[in-house]
Chains A and B, each alone.
Chain A
Amino acid sequence: MTHPIRVTVNGQEYARAVEPRQTLADFLRDDLDLTGTHVGCEHGVCGACTILLGGEPVRSCLMLAVQADAQSITTIEGVSPADGGLHPIQEAFWAKHGLQCGYCTPGIVMSVCAFLRERPQPTREEIREMLAGHLCRCTGYHFIVEAIEAAAQALAPPPPRTP
């Protein structure tokens, strides 16, 4: 038996009927063709499936699609500018070689969006602690840490002018 949901994803509302056991991750990928959110483990550890629910990072593989009713979700497609360019966080990752195969990357970018909002000037230690919720097998994390530092600088408001 399916259940009707109305969910807003990247600012657009969708009305769909979903089977209760379908996860939000599979719903985004299969029903909405938003394949930028990746599935790596289906038990919440790897972080590849991370999206923003009401602006907060959550594992889309640990939510049921039916629970997304009346919710507002942002995926990697919603972070990327519509004109094909890159958000400053994405630019920073590009500049610092903060990705290799790209599979874990969307999940990390989503977490970083929320993290830098809450912690605009993080220490390297705080960055590593936040990153610990995301598994990457390619980079060894070193350049990801540098990318997040660069993103923090890029997003920081300019220093006030001295008179």
Chain B
Amino acid sequence: MGAKYFGAAVKRREDPRYLRGEGRFVDDIKLAGMLHAAFVRSPHAHARITAIRTQAAGALPGVAHVYTFADLERWMKPLPLFGAIPPGLSARVAVTMKQLGQLALCRDEARYVGEIVAMVLGASRAVAEDGAELVEVDYEPLPVLADVVAAAQPDAPVLYPEWGDNIALSFKTGFGDAEAGLREAAVRVRERFTIPRYVGMPIETRGVVAQWDPRDGALTTWNGTQVVHFVQQGLVAALGLPPHKIRVIAPDVGGGFGTKANGYAEDLLIPAAAIASRRPVKWTEDRREHMMAAAHARAQVHDIEIGARRDGTMLAVRDRIWVDLGAYNSWGIVLPYNTVAHLLGPHRVPSLDVECRGVITTKTPNAPYRGAGRPETVFAMDRIVDCLARELGMDPADLRRRNYLTEADMPYELNIPYRDGNPLVYDSGDFRAGLEAALTAVDYPALRAEQARLREQGIHRGIGISGYVEGTAIGPYEGATVRLDPSGHAVVATGACCQGQGHETSFAQIAADALGIPLEWITVVGGDTAAIPFGVGTFASRSAVNAGSSIHEASGRVKDKIVAAAAALLEASPGDIEVSEGTVSVRGAPGSATPLATVIRAAVPTFAKPGVSDLDFEATVYHHQPTVTYTSAVHVAVVDVDTGTGSVALRRYLVAHDCGKVINPVIVEGQIHGGVAQGVGGGLLEEMVYDEQAQLLTGTFMDYLVPTAMELPDIETVHLEYPSPRNPLGVKGVGEGGAISPPAAIANAVEDALAPFGARVTRTPLGPSVVLGLLGKS
């Protein structure tokens, strides 16, 4: 196989339409006779709903329908749940778990501000909102759960009485004897760290359009989702239709980040409304809705302790973790176990003891967002490591040098399973080399020297390091169908969905190499359940590995079919057939060059004879990916802290990372930049704030502060390459990694800058008021 395209910085094929404003996002879709939906959402964090009166709303000119639970009851099955515990995991870790599926419309109880109580359909969104204001709801406020640690206490009010408590999930795991390790340690440091609620916040909000065709008995729904097949499965369960009668299409999607990879109420309500009203229905989420109704994320507390020898050799880590799940445990084992599995990261630690609780609160449900538990766990670990360094009087870089695993340690088994139930074995990488690469690229000794000089001038510069190991590309599969059209052009259909990652280009690069046809001949179709019947979706940095492997293998099989047909047509041995840039030839026979279209045409039967081969230039492969493959990175942040105002300026940010073999290096860098930016937001600016009544105070972009180009420096990247042994392409996932380390690196940098004041950073975001608080002035 010629690798002409794999590894090349090919310009993205999807870009011209985006640049010309000719993308098709959900809100761009217009259907004749379309009605627009607006929702009545609970203003209470917890309340019994005793009555809903819709007459006034229904009578408003322009309002077509008002629906409550009773009106749509036949479709109100519980929404999909994720995160069931795989057998391999439950065999080794005793997990207590309770999950209750959310109903798309509240029946008689609302459990978070923003939960949907009623739906209004109108001639326009504006009229539908007018109607929504006229719906009268009688609420009886009930006790709220605003704080995750308090909600876990035995005396807390219980949200689900049948559960007996608010602990939706709990488990303990570990290896070695952490108690003994801590006792033996010459130095022990313990601290409680809080990672706040912060979220994906794509610039395109959510949206759903649905159309029911009574003639075909079929539903088509356009949805800005990352998981078209999950959405389809949810609709199959609720609507009672077979899958092929429900088509879910994700058109162009303006950013996902995990926020759009859920089983949302609106995914069901808009199709149900289309069926009930016999009209196409559109819902475009507005930003205020998005803040309260799109999934939240992060929100963990870690009480973590580490013990080490006097020379810095780590002996044991113990961590007590609370994960704030919000009002529904929709994601099961995923976030809590991701958190645990990634805690030790690149460090060699002989014993571990973790206890994790997923706790229900009366807030917007928590779901995976870029990193999905890893940013939180890395924050706890890298912070306690820096605290340990300070206690030992060691430079944090040296402490990490002493404890990071190297290539010689690979494959390295942690004695706990991974979330998929398989053994947790780091398959490749050299984390110590990554650390050295980062420190060299940033010229760490020069940074320290400059810091000392600046300190004498009263300028408080800080340097922070954070490193992670990330299990990427969780399976179990993402299939692909590759088929040629009569001209020899190819369609690659996959269950992967794109929200800006460049699938139309990178997947075409893989296929072009394996097929031997030009890149421009390939159309990638993702995010459409009609294009491929089985799929999982794009999240967890999984598509390059899972879909990429299937595309590679399926393309190879189609190439074999081309070769067989060509061999028959050109009367040569298959081993002598070459396919390159859409031309077929016999090796060593100049003049044998034949266009691929000619080969295909020769396979078409005529009245006179059958074709030279089967008229089949199609292959479907569902590559099985049993477990993850490991990337790693080290981030270094350099900050200046103004101790007069508490402002933190991020001066430099550097990433040294391994993501295995790279399909398109520019796309990879873009993913790292974007992840870093979101991580920096988490470190300095972003938080979803609730008050003691579990009222969401963060309502607009004035409150939720997404970083701009002024808050970010140029992002420096150093690439290392340790190919994955776990898939035919040697690739690893890279979508999330950039977001994992920034809060830790920045927190470490700020604490480093304020070392002369003895400040201890225990939470983010590090806004000016928080920073001055560290100095006792806020």
Contacts and interface: CB of A to CB of B under 8 A. Distances in A.
B708 interface: yes
Contact of B252 (A30, A102, A104): A102
B677 interface: yes
A19 B204 CA distance: 25
B322 interface: no
A90 B22 CA distance: 13
B201 interface: yes
A143 B203 contact: no
B700 interface: yes
A36 to B, nearest CB: 2
Nearest to A35: B28
A43 interface: yes
Contacts of B666: 97, 143
A37 B738 CA distance: 29
A86 B16 CA distance: 7
Nearest to A95: B11
Contacts of B287: 40-43, 46
B31 to A, nearest CB: 13
B667 A101 contact: no
B709 interface: yes
B21 interface: yes
Given A80-B19, A140-B712, A43 B670 contact: no
A103 B255 contact: yes
Given A39-B27, A94-B19, A138 B706 contact: no
B571 interface: no
B412 interface: no
Contact of A135 (B670, B672, B706): B706
Given A76-B20, A102-B18, A142 B715 contact: yes
Given A101-B500, A140-B673, A142-B673, A77 B678 contact: no
Interface in B16-46: 16-23, 25, 27-28, 30
Contacts of B730: none
Contacts of B708: 131-135, 141
B714 interface: yes
**Quick one: which of A33, A38, A40, A100 has the most chain B CB within 10 A?**
A100
B677 A100 contact: no
A145 interface: yes
A136 interface: yes
B709 A144 contact: yes
A37 B673 contact: no
Given A42-B287, A137-B203, A140-B715, A100 B500 contact: yes
A76 B678 contact: no
A132 B27 CA distance: 26
A83 to B, nearest CB: 11
A118 B253 CA distance: 33
Contacts of A30: 30
A94 B16 contact: yes
A38 B22 CA distance: 11
A93 interface: yes
Contacts of A46: 203, 287, 701
Interface residues of B, number: 57
A143 B287 CA distance: 26
Nearest to B679: A140
B19 A109 contact: yes
Given A38-B25, A129-B710, A137 B200 contact: yes
Contact of B701 (A45, A104, A141): A45
A123 interface: no
B501 interface: yes
Contacts of B14: 102
Interface in B632-673: 666-667, 669-670, 672-673
Contact of B500 (A45, A94, A102, A141): A102
Interface of A: 19, 21-22, 29-30, 33-43, 45-46, 48, 75-77, 80, 84, 86, 90, 93-95, 97, 99-106, 109, 127-129, 131-145
Interface of B: 11-12, 14-23, 25, 27-28, 30, 126, 200-205, 252-255, 257, 284, 286-287, 499-502, 666-667, 669-670, 672-678, 700-702, 706, 708-710, 712, 714-715, 738
Given A80-B20, A99-B15, A132-B709, 17 more contacts: A35-B27, A37-B21, A39-B27, A45-B701, A84-B20, A97-B12, A100-B670, A102-B18, A103-B202, A127-B709, A128-B710, A133-B708, A138-B670, A139-B677, A140-B670, A140-B676, A140-B715
26 contacts: A29-B28, A30-B30, A39-B284, A41-B700, A45-B700, A94-B15, A94-B19, A97-B11, A100-B255, A101-B500, A105-B18, A106-B21, A127-B709, A128-B709, A129-B710, A131-B710, A134-B709, A135-B706, A137-B678, A138-B674, A140-B670, A140-B672, A141-B673, A141-B712, A142-B673, A143-B669
